[in-house]
Amino acid sequence: MESRVKLGFLASGAGSSAQAIVQAIRAGDLAAEARLLVSNNRGAAALEFAKAEGVPSLCIPTQADPEAADAALARAMADHEVELIVLSGYLRRLGAATLARYAGRILNIHPGPLPEFGGPGMYGRRVHEAVLAARAPASAIVIHLVDEEYDRGPEVARRAVEVRPDDTPETLEARIRALEPAFFVETLQRIARGDLELPGEDPP
């Protein structure tokens, strides 16, 4: 029997993957609960989506006092009994309190092969520009655990994405972006079914 994973989401913008995951839960395709969505941006479309879907949501700005914001984020996730945090276009580095409380339980999706095309500053179109500049035969979508270093946490799942001869950074970005939400849903389905264990997780 599938366990219902209690999910929390972090998004700075639209939160496309978060939206796809919540919709999969609503459709009965994912054995999970959407417990909380948090954004650092009051104007984030993800907050409007959460409100429309009845998902509890909060805005926790991070710029004025990052340490206090981190403590508030960790506390909010715990108060909503979140078990697994999903990053969906969250453009702020997580702080020590959240990383410690949810060690091994924070998932991020990266639009290129890791570790080769990750690290500080490697996000969005920059990743696709670097992949094409390196003449890599393929790109990838990588879901990984988040730790103190950018894009260095253990890999959870990977899907190869063809690099076509006529690709530009824009076309590669569009193709990968279109694939990311469904891949995140699929990976969470595998976790919920027990078909995929998170790195470092003890088997039942």
Res 143: pLDDT? 98
pTM: 0.93
Domains of the chain: 5-193 (3.40.50.170)
* pLDDT tens digits, 40-74: 999 999 999 999 999 999 999 999 999 999 999 99
Candidates 80, 110, 128, 144; catalytic one: 110
Q: What is the DSSP letter of 163?
A: P
Indicate if 80 belongs to the active site.
no
Is 162 buried (19+), middle (13-18) or exposed (0-12) by CB count in 10 A? Answer: exposed
Cβ(8)–Cβ(50) under 8 Å?
no
How far apart (Å, rounded) are the C-alpha atoms in residues 9 and 51? Answer: 13
